[in-house]
Amino acid sequence: MTEPGRSGPAEGSIALLAANWPRVDDGLQIRAGGAVAVDTATLSATALRFDAVRDELAEIGERLRGLQAALAGLTGCGGDAGASASVLATKLDEARAEGDAIARALRDAARAYEMVDLQAEHRAAVLAGDGDRAARLDARLTAMAEEHPDAWRMALGAEFGHAVMWPSELVRQATQWGTVIGDGFGDPGAIVGGAGAGVLTLGAATVVGLAGTGRLARDARLSGSSGPVTVTPVTPAAPGSAAPQSLAGVTERIPGGGDSRVRVERYTMPDGSRQYAVYIAGMQSFALGGDDPWDDESNLQLYSGETSDSYAATEAALAAAGVQSGDAVHVFGFSQGAMIGAHLALQGDYDTRTLVSIGSPVDADVGSGTLSVSLRHTDDPVAGLAGGGHEEAVGAAGSFVAERVSDPASDLEDARLPAHRLAAYAETAALVDASSDPRVDGLRAVFDTLGEAEAVEITEYAATRGDG
């Protein structure tokens, strides 16, 4: 969670609220995404509950003062009771004052987060050329900032914190690479070379991420053409004759390491309708062109907004599996596969109900009809290309971002990107599955719904460039 209390009043109360959010351990953080990680309606409702408690305390205090007055003239046990009543009245006043402070802090936080949302809407209106809407939002923001200056400072702090602090782990590890690591590296040249590679890998991801290329607007569309590509059914490598029941189970079904690049599962629901899940592999080749579309050329094309052969192959696989325009689709992708999934959700003709992005170089502003779930490692330079994601939360209600530091050590192994391995993200997925955070319930509901399917058909596809 962004730490809004650093830039506003009653920061201890807000910090306490953040500290009490459910999480699996001190490493995993689950948040709503963006600079705003709190539901403003929940904050306002909580403030009202504190108001109610304050009023109850005030009523008790009035009764207690009446009791004090009745005991004032008594001696002996009556005097002791009067003294106790006085002490209790003081404590009640202190509790009421603390409740007032917390309620004010909650309201300031709610206003601050509302201002962040308004700023995001204002930017969108400006980019869309909607001058009238931009002017109305600007006037509203100005009025709120004048009426609530503390909340305005908190809003600016939240956005600044999101913009500046997201690459902190990448920067830390990049700057520590020059340290001699253990006894097994006696060649100074190798150490210096490895350190340079680490700085380039981790630091470059930070620089590119800051450019904002990895933040995809809702109207982002791939340009150009691709292909031809050929997709061929292959024997499914991943287990399962039913829908996945966990996020960790999803990671087991994402192709990679064999011929398969796309896995499609078709679910026949009890009412006769059909839903589909597609699992898309990450990059499989460092080549810039060749037989395999899942290469670095496709990485560069997708990240720069161009149609890749791997994207075309994924669409071809969906068509081969019988997916048609308007069908309900749940998309699960890793790395390059997550970029493909993001564009399927943004520009595909499907009813994309779920988008799970694992180690994605981009963050897509999908609409309110798509549940968006992102797994990110803060020390993963590939995920760092997304620039920390959007400043506002994206996706349907219940969408969330789960992130942690996967490999905190700074050593030569970082050149092999251990934090970006699917196995590392599988561990994070298991932590999310074990979490008691209520934000995970929306994703669990997706698994529960798919688990009701009366029949499941699974097809996996290999892909090659060319017409076969």
Q: Judge if 126 and 73 occupy the same domain.
A: yes
Task: Decide if 341 is inside a domain.
Answer: yes
What is the mean pLDDT of the segment spanning 116-142? 77
- Higher pLDDT, residue 333 or 57: 333
* 182: in domain: no
Q: CA-CA distance, 371 to 349, in Å (whole number)?
A: 17
Of residues 244 and 213, the one with the higher pLDDT is 244
Confidence check: pLDDT of 177 > 60: no
Within-domain flag for 6: no
Closest CA to 424 of 372, 364, 379, 371: 379
- 137 shares its domain with 242: no
Of 448, 453, 458, 457, the C-alpha closest to 271 is: 453
Statement: residue 196 has pLDDT above 50: no
Q: What percent of the chain clears pLDDT 90, i.e. is strictly above it?
A: 42
Would you place residue 441 in the very low, low, confident or very high pLDDT band (cuts 50, 70, 90)?
Answer: very high
Residues 143 and 209 in one domain: no
> Does 227 lie in the same domain as 120?
no
As a whole number, the mean pLDDT across the chain is 79
363 shares its domain with 445:
yes
Q: How far apart are CA 242 and CA 447, in angstroms?
A: 10
Buried-state track 191-220, b at ≥16 Cβ within 10 A, e below 16: beebbeebbebbbebbebbbeebbbbeeee
Amino acid at site 182: G
Q: What contacts 86, CB < 8 A, 6 or more positions away?
A: 68
Helix (H) or strand (E) holding 25: none
Question: Is the model's pLDDT at 182 over the cut of 90?
Answer: no
- Mean pLDDT calculated for residue range 429-443: 94
Q: Is residue 129 part of a domain?
A: yes
Q: Are residues 335 and 457 in the same domain?
A: yes
One domain for residues 94 and 201? no
Q: Tens digit of pLDDT for each residue in 335-356?
A: 999 999 999 999 999 999 999 9
If one compares 13 and 460, the residue with the highest pLDDT of the two is 460
Q: Per-residue pLDDT averaged across 19-26, rounded? A: 38
Strands 274-280 and 328-334: parallel
Residue 24 lies in a domain: no
- Please give the Cα distance from 159 to 138 (Å, whole number): 17
Rounded average pLDDT over 95-114: 74
Does a structural domain hold residue 371? yes
Quick check: bond before 244 cis, omega within 30?
Answer: no
What total number of domains does the chain contain?
A: 2
Question: Exposure pattern of 341-360 as b/e (b: 16+ CB <10 Å)?
Answer: bbbbbbebebebbbbbbbbb
Q: What is the largest CA-CA distance in the chain?
A: 103
**Residue 466 CB: number of other CB atoms within 10 A?**
11
Q: Using CA atoms, how far apart are residues 264 and 280, in angstroms rounded to an integer?
A: 9
What is the rounded CA–CA span in Å between residue 432 and residue 28? Answer: 8
Q: Is residue 183 part of a domain?
A: no
Q: Please determine, for residue 324, whether its predicted confidence score (pLDDT) is greater than 90.
A: yes
Angle at 457 between CA 455 and CA 463, to 5 degrees: 165
Task: Give the pLDDT confidence score for residue 191 in this predicted structure.
Answer: 35
- 188: pLDDT strictly greater than 50: no
End-to-end CA distance of the chain: 49
pLDDT (mean) for 54-69: 74
Torsion from C-alpha of 169, 173, 176, 177, nearest 10 degrees = -170
Do the Cβ atoms of 250 and 429 come closer than 8 Å?
yes
pLDDT greater at residue 35 or residue 379: 379
- Claim to verify: residue 146 and residue 236 sit in the same structural domain: no
Q: Please say if the pLDDT value at position 247 is more than 80.
A: yes
Residues 254 and 377 in one domain: yes
Domain that holds residue 420: 188-465
Looking at 102, 136, 156, which one is the last position of a domain? 156
22 compared with 53, residue with greater pLDDT = 53
Instruction: Tell whether 145 and 221 lie within a shared domain.
Output: no
In degrees, to the nearest 5, what angle opens at C-alpha 460 toward C-alphas 362 and 256? 50
The residue-averaged pLDDT of 409-430 equals: 85
Q: Are residues 209 and 313 in the same domain?
A: yes
Over range 392-408, report the average pLDDT.
89
Task: Show the CA angle centred on residue 104, arms to residues 102 and 110, nearest 5°.
Answer: 105
Chain centroid, CA 305 distance in Å: 22
Domain stop point among 140, 156, 172: 156
Helix (H, G, I), strand (E, B) or coil at 241: coil
> What does 85-154 look like in DSSP terms, one character per residue?
HHHHHHHHHHHHHHHHHHHHHHHHHHHHHHHHHHHHHHHHHHHTT-HHHHHHHHHHHHHHHHH-HHHHHH
Which amino acid appears at position 217 of this protein?
Answer: A
Give me the pLDDT at residue 313, please: 98
Split at pLDDT 50, 70, 90, the class of 146 is confident
pLDDT at 136: 86
* Domain end position, chosen among 135, 156, 177: 156
pLDDT, tens only, 357-375: 999 999 999 989 999 999 9
Residue 15 belongs to some domain of the structure: no
Domain co-membership, 262 together with 332: yes
Rounded CA-CA distance 163/211 in Å is: 11
Instruction: Check residue 21 and give its pLDDT.
Output: 36
Distances 231 to 125, 288, 302, 314, 336 between C-alpha atoms, Å: 41, 20, 19, 9, 18
Per-residue CA distances from 394 to 21, 92, 286 (Å)? 20, 43, 31
CA-based R_g, the chain, Å = 27
**CA separation (Å) from 45 to 15, 85, 107, 115?**
18, 32, 9, 18
Q: Exposure of 381 by Cβ count < 10 A (0-12 exposed, 13-18 middle, 19+ buried)?
A: buried
Residues 6+ apart with CB under 8 A from 444: none
Residue 6 pLDDT > 80: no
Lowest-pLDDT choice from 22-26, 81-85, 86-90: 22-26
Q: Exposure string (b/e) for 18-57, b if CB count within 10 Å is 16 or more?
A: beeeebbeeebbbbbbbbbbbbbeebbebbeebeeebeeb
Sign of CA dihedral 127, 336, 36, 250: positive
CA pseudo-torsion sign 390, 2, 162, 412: negative
